[in-house]
Amino acid sequence: MTRVVSPDRLAVRGLLGTVVLALVVVAALNINRLPLIGNSDVVHVRFAEAGGLKGGDAVMVSGAQVGRVREVRLDRSHVVADIVLIDSGIVLGDRTEARIITMTLLGRAAVELVPRGRGEIGAGESIPLARTSSPYNLTSTLNELTETTAEIDKEQLAAALDQASQTLGSASPDLRPALDGITALSRAVSANDDELRSLVARADSVTGVLASRDQQIASLLGSGRSLLGELDARQDVVVGLLKSARELAAQLRLLLKDTDDVLGPALDELDGVVGVLNENREDLQASIVGLRGYATAFGEAISSGPWFDAYIQNLTSPGTLVPVLSGVIP
């Protein structure tokens, strides 16, 4: 069964196909201006060596990330890094410098830009080799050292040193002690060949472990930096507290000096009162014990009826009245 397509549908399909084809042609003619895949936002940076830099690494300006490295490729005797800036507010002058920096202890690299100059580096332009610098890559150097030392033939090295020692020893007797030391060193290296290989292998293993723990070490260092910052802030608080305590001590010292004439006699009087109380402590305790029985009986007498009689012995005695009246009559 043959399906018949209406003329209107054919016209719509033809129009859509024409529009899509036109868009593809326009994109192909302006491919360098397309975002992400074009070169309109790409700046080429030339370095003497890669220094561990690779695609996907960050591009930094004053410590802030403003882009990423799209690709790192070899161009004859130097390296070209294509960087993409994602921050439209960054303006690179015509004297802008670039360098490869190490972000972590284990060699994570990034490109740091230092904008300089009055002009502007446009998209697709390059920062020349004269205004760039590359770091010393410790990780790659250690790996090269490991590979190089592993390829050394220890027996041939020992034989060469022995031969050199014999040749130079016969030529000059003064060199004999130094050459004997070189011979002993070569023999020690040859005798400990297996231990050296084991040491190199373990060093390579340690390097691999450190490389796999890159993020953890970076996090640990970041936490340590936060802890030190908090301790530094607490140090300021403690210093301020000690300063305030010192000022308070100075004020108290001045206060005591100003009131020494008043506080001295007052403290002497207080000391005398405390002494009298201590001397009569037993009498005071006995009075309190006797007062307890009297107060109990007096309470029972009060509660027995609507009225009561009370008798205080020796109330009118002069010996009793004198202490009372002395506090009332001036």
pLDDT tens-place string over residues 164-192: 767 765 656 666 677 677 777 777 777 77
pLDDT in tens, 21-42: 878 777 665 554 455 454 447 8
2: pLDDT strictly greater than 70: no
Lowest mean pLDDT among 4-8, 13-17, 116-120, 181-185: 4-8
The pLDDT assigned to 38 comes to 47
Which tens digit of pLDDT belongs to each residue from 60-111? Answer: 898 888 888 988 998 888 889 998 888 777 888 888 999 888 877 667 888 9
- Please tell me the predicted confidence (pLDDT) of residue 258: 76
Among 30-39, 252-261, 266-275, which stretch is predicted with the lowest mean pLDDT? Answer: 30-39
Say which residues have a Cβ less than 8 Å from residue 52's Cβ, sequence separation at least 6.
100, 102, 107, 108, 109, 135, 137, 139, 140
Q: How far apart are the first and last CA of the chain?
A: 138
**Mean pLDDT value of segment 13-22:** 79
Domain ranges of the chain: 38-136, 142-211, 213-260
What are the structure tokens assigned to 83, written together? Answer: 């960087």
Count the neighbouring beta carbons within 10 Å of the beta carbon of residue 82.
Answer: 17
pTM of the predicted model as reported, rounded to 2 decimal places: 0.34
3-state secondary structure of 231: helix
